[in-house]
Structure 1
C-alpha cells in the first residue's frame, strides 16, 4: 500500500497539472475541463501525457 505518486500531466490544450496517480475522484483540466484522470479502484487511468513523476 502507498504505491501512488504525484505526476505532472499535460492536457491536449497544453495546460500542465499535478495529480495523484491513484486518485479516487475524476480529475479535469483546470483550463479546458477535459478529463485528465479517472479512478479505477487502484491506479487511475490517465488521459493526458505524463510529463514527469514528482515523487
Structure 2
C-alpha cells in the first residue's frame, strides 16, 4: 500500500498554553539578541507543515 493511502503513523498534538504570537515573537527576538544577531531566530515549531492558532 502506498504511504499516501495509509495515513499518518503518529499524530503529535502540542498545547502551547500561554504561547501566543507575541510570546513566540518575543522569544525569537530574544534568542537572536543573545547570539548578537539582528532580527529573529525562528523557532522550530512555527515551521511545522500544519499549525493552528486558537483564541479563547
> TM-score normalised to the size of structure 2?
0.22
Greater helix content: 2
Using the size of structure 1 for normalisation, the TM-score is 0.22
Of structures 1 and 2, the one with the larger relative CO (CA 8 A, separation 6+) is 1
